[in-house]
């Protein structure tokens, strides 16, 4: 009886260890998701954009609603997005006041952070991949911002230039 | 002072904006602009139409490279799996190829222009000769009753045709020299690139070749009674050269032709050459029959080249056999006539006979051998045996006489 009492915990311990081993998933670290050049897409009448090259399709109406609180019709003629090193999607459009940092999840994109850029919106935004960050520029004014998943920082022109190099 | 400060401030502002604008470019726009300009350059390379504009284009591509080479890393990503350098080198290479092609085309255009001038000159000469022969022909028809006058005119007419053939031969030489140096593909390009100016040019080789082939056919059809074997032999030479030229250069000449019906015209030239060849063969055989008859060479009748060979062959066999059995002055005279005819054939026209398909080289060799055999047996043999007997008798008589005289001298006097 005594030996039975000693044996049962031992078997249990072995079983727990074995199960733990089976559940352990493989992890590949140091993955670089960076997309070298932004995608510029035109939404259809339902607001769906399709990036054939990168295999991504989504509806921009939630973003439009976040910007304008209106989804009665698709008012955005162009959507620009780029994927950063960590895998976040930075999405914006002409005249948007924000850049939306989205994280991909199973069958959806989840808002990670809304980066406020301007009160009036950028007339001609563009996203560039840089070594340490994503660069947002307004092509009409020449202004530049340094974007990270958590923060946005306006760049001085010369600084932006140096950082490019 | 305030004005100066304001101006400087304005300049500074302008400079700063320029610097800002320059430093903040969209990668997307850079690659889009590169791809757009690249496609435009490719189109320009395909459409460039002169060596000068090709050279300007090459310089422009060099500037294009300088402008975008600083973005090569970005463009490598945008152009993957190609690289920026690969694409630029391809563009540069194709622009150089285009320039070389246009240079060749320019050279060929110059050659063609020269040829056009030559053609016009030949055309004029040929027209004049045709006019001359036509008036001669009319005059011959009018003077049919005066035999002496007529025969002089026929001679002049034949000389005129001879000159025409000489002119055609010179024309053929010019064609061969000019067109052989040209590349068919470049001529096709030339048509595409410079169609307008080609259409404005004067004279045309294909038209002239077409007309010559048609006129030659006409001359053969209408003048069978005035032409002799040597005329046909010369004409066969012209026909051979003309056909060779057409076979070798016809496609190039057709390519350069300005008119719309080039293919039809080329087909007609093919047909004319074929008819010309056939008719020439028939009329040459007829002229041969006449020549043999005039020389009292009684061969059996023939109407094809094979029959002609058989006739000569059996004629020679027959006479060789006869001369082996019995030689005669008449047989020797036959041989002399045939030898005269055959020497002319062998020395002057053997290549014409072979080229025109009248006799093959082995057939010529066989006939040659037979003529030699006949020569060995044709000469009448003299009665040599009698001469030898008479000679021997005379010698014997002399010998006997000498012996008698010696005997008389040796006999002691009684």
Q: Which residues in chain B have their CB less than 8 angstroms from residue A161's CB? A: 19, 23
Quick check: B24 and A36 CB within 8 A?
Answer: no
Quick check: A143 and B20 CB within 8 A?
Answer: yes
Positive/negative CA dihedral, A68, A72, A76, A80: positive
Task: Provide the mean pLDDT of chain B.
Answer: 79
Q: What is the pLDDT of residue B200?
A: 43
B19 has a chain A CB within 8 A of its CB? yes
In sequence order, the 6+-apart residues with CB closer than 8 A to the CB of B211 are none
Measuring CA to CA, how many Å separate B183 from each of B103, B255, B261, B392? 13, 11, 22, 84
Option in B19, B23, B77 nearest A37 (CB): B77
Nearest-by-CA chain A residue for B31: A37
Which comes out higher in pLDDT, residue B143 or A110? A110
Radius of gyration for chain A, computed over Cα atoms and rounded to the nearest angstrom: 23
DSSP label at B257?
Answer: -
In sequence order, the 6+-apart residues with CB closer than 8 A to the CB of A82 are A35, A37, A38, A39, A89, A90, A127, A128, A129, A134
Q: How far is CA B41 from the centre of its chain?
A: 43
Which band of pLDDT confidence, cut at 50, 70 and 90, is reported for residue B344? confident
Q: How far apart are CA B140 and CA B349, in angstroms?
A: 29
Say whether pLDDT at B1 is over 80: no
Say whether pLDDT at B52 is over 80: yes
Which comes out higher in pLDDT, residue B85 or B220? B85
Q: What is the pLDDT of residue B70?
A: 94
> What SS3 string covers B2-56?
HHHHHHHHHHHHHHHHHHHHHHCCCHHHHHHHHHHHHHHHHHHHHHCCCHHHHHH
Asked if residues A54 and A35 have their Cβ atoms less than 8 Å apart, the reply is yes
Asked if residues B320 and B372 have their Cβ atoms less than 8 Å apart, the reply is no
Q: Is the ipTM of this complex over 0.90?
A: no
pLDDT digits over B100-120, tens only? 988 888 887 777 777 777 777
DSSP label at A37?
Answer: B
Option in B16, B25, B27 nearest A38 (CB): B27
Residue B20 CB coordination number (10 Å): 19
Quick check: A126 and B28 CB within 8 A?
Answer: yes
Quick check: B74 and A37 CB within 8 A?
Answer: yes
Mean pLDDT of B294-298: 84
Q: What percentage of chain B reaches a pLDDT higher than 70?
A: 81
Nearest-by-CA chain B residue for A80: B28
Nearest-by-CA chain A residue for B80: A36
Ranges of residues in chain A whose predicted pLDDT is under 50: 158-160, 162-163, 165
Which band of pLDDT confidence, cut at 50, 70 and 90, is reported for residue B55? very high
Q: How far apart are CA B114 and CA B110, in angstroms?
A: 6
Q: What is the pLDDT of residue B228?
A: 79
Question: Angle at CA A102, nearest 5°, toward A97 and A104?
Answer: 160
Q: What is the pLDDT of residue A128?
A: 96
Mean pLDDT of B368-384: 78
Asked if residues A157 and B20 have their Cβ atoms less than 8 Å apart, the reply is yes
Q: What is the pLDDT of residue B135?
A: 72
Quick check: A137 and B78 CB within 8 A?
Answer: no
Q: How far apart are CA A51 and CA B288, in angstroms?
A: 87
Quick check: A36 and B77 CB within 8 A?
Answer: yes
Which comes out higher in pLDDT, residue B293 or B24? B293
Q: How far apart are CA B125 and CA B246, in angstroms?
A: 21
Option in B17, B25, B78 nearest A37 (CB): B78
Mean pLDDT of B240-265: 80
Nearest-by-CA chain B residue for A141: B21
Quick check: A126 and B16 CB within 8 A?
Answer: no
Q: How far apart are CA A109 and CA B333, in angstroms?
A: 118
The answer, as to whether pTM is greater than 0.95, is: no
Residue B298 CB coordination number (10 Å): 12
- Out of A3-7, B334-338, B340-344, least confident range: A3-7
Choose from B118-122, B140-144, B238-242 the range with maximum mean pLDDT. B238-242
Nearest-by-CA chain A residue for B70: A165
Mean pLDDT of B366-393: 77
Q: What is the pLDDT of residue B5?
A: 52
Quick check: A158 and B23 CB within 8 A?
Answer: yes
Residue with tokens 């009329």: B283
Q: What is the pLDDT of residue B196?
A: 42
Mean pLDDT of B325-335: 81
Quick check: A128 and B78 CB within 8 A?
Answer: no
Size of interface A-B (CB pairs under 8 A): 53
Option in A37, A138, A144 nearest B31 (CB): A37
Q: What is the pLDDT of residue A27?
A: 93
Residue ranges of B 76-95 with Cβ closer than 8 A to chain A: 77-78
Say whether pLDDT at B36 is over 50: yes
Quick check: B28 and A80 CB within 8 A?
Answer: yes
Quick check: A160 and B24 CB within 8 A?
Answer: yes
Say whether pLDDT at B41 is over 80: yes
B12 has a chain A CB within 8 A of its CB? no
pLDDT digits over B74-91, tens only? 999 999 999 999 999 999
| Residue-level length of chain B | 414
DSSP character string of B190-204: HHHHSHHHHHH----
Q: How far is CA B277 from the centre of its chain?
A: 15
Which comes out higher in pLDDT, residue A34 or B132? A34
Nearest-by-CA chain B residue for A34: B77
């Amino acid at each position: 009886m005594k030996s039975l009492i000693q044996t049962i915990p031992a078997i249990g311990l072995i079983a727990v260890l074995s199960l733990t081993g089976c559940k352990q998933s493989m992890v590949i670290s140091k993955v670089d998701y960076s997309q070298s050049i932004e995608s510029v897409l035109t939404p259809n009448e339902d607001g769906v954009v399709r990036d054939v090259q990168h295999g991504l399709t989504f509806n921009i109406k939630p973003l439009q609603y976040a910007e304008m609180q209106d989804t009665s019709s698709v008012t955005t003629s162009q959507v620009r997005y780029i994927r950063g090193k960590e895998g976040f999607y930075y999405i914006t459009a002409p005249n948007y006041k924000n850049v939306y940092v989205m994280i991909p999840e199973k069958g959806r994109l989840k808002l990670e952070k809304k980066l406020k850029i301007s009160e009036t919106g950028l007339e001609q935004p563009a996203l560039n991949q840089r070594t340490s960050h994503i660069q947002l520029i307004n092509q009409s004014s020449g202004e530049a911002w340094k974007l990270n998943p958590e923060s946005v920082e306006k760049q001085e022109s010369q600084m932006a230039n140096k950082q490019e190099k | 002072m305030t004005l100066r400060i304001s101006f400087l401030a304005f300049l500074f502002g302008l400079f700063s904006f320029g610097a800002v604008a320059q430093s903040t470019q969209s990668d997307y726009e850079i690659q889009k602009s590169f791809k757009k300009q690249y496609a435009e350059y490719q189109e320009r390379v395909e459409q460039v139409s002169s060596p000068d504009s090709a050279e300007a284009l090459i310089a422009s591509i060099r500037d294009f490279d300088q402008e975008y080479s600083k973005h090569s890393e970005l463009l490598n990503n945008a152009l993957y799996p190609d690289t920026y350098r690969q694409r630029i080198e391809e563009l540069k290479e194709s622009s150089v190829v285009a320039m070389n092609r246009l240079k060749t085309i320019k050279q060929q255009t110059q050659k063609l222009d020269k040829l056009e001038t030559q053609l016009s000159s030949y055309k004029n000469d040929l027209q004049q000769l045709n006019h001359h022969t036509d008036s001669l022909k009319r005059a011959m028809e009018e003077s049919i009753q005066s035999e002496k006058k007529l025969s002089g005119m026929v001679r002049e007419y034949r000389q005129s045709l001879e000159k025409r053939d000489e002119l055609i031969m010179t024309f053929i030489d010019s064609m061969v020299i000019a067109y052989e140096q040209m590349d068919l593909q470049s001529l096709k390009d030339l048509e595409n690139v410079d169609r307008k100016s080609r259409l404005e040019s004067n004279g045309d080789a294909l038209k002239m070749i077409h007309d010559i082939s048609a006129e030659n056919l006409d001359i053969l059809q209408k003048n069978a009674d005035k032409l002799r074997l040597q005329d046909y032999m010369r004409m066969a030479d012209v026909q051979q050269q003309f056909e060779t030229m057409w076979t070798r250069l016809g496609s190039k000449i057709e390519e350069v032709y300005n008119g719309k019906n080039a293919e039809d015209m080329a087909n007609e030239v093919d047909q004319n050459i074929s008819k010309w060849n056939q008719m020439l063969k028939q009329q040459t055989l007829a002229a041969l029959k006449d020549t043999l008859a005039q020389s009292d060479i009684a061969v059996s009748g023939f109407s094809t080249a094979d029959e002609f060979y058989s006739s000569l062959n059996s004629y020679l066999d027959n006479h060789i056999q006869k001369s082996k059995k019995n030689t005669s002055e008449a047989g020797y005279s036959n041989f002399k006539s045939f030898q005269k005819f055959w020497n002319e054939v062998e020395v002057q026209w053997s290549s014409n006979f072979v080229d025109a398909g009248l006799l093959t080289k082995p057939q010529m060799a066989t006939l040659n051998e037979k003529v030699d055999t006949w020569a060995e047996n044709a000469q009448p043999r003299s009665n040599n045996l009698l001469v030898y007997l008479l000679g021997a008798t005379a010698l014997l008589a002399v010998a006997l006489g000498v012996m008698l005289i010696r005997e008389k001298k040796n006999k002691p006097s009684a």
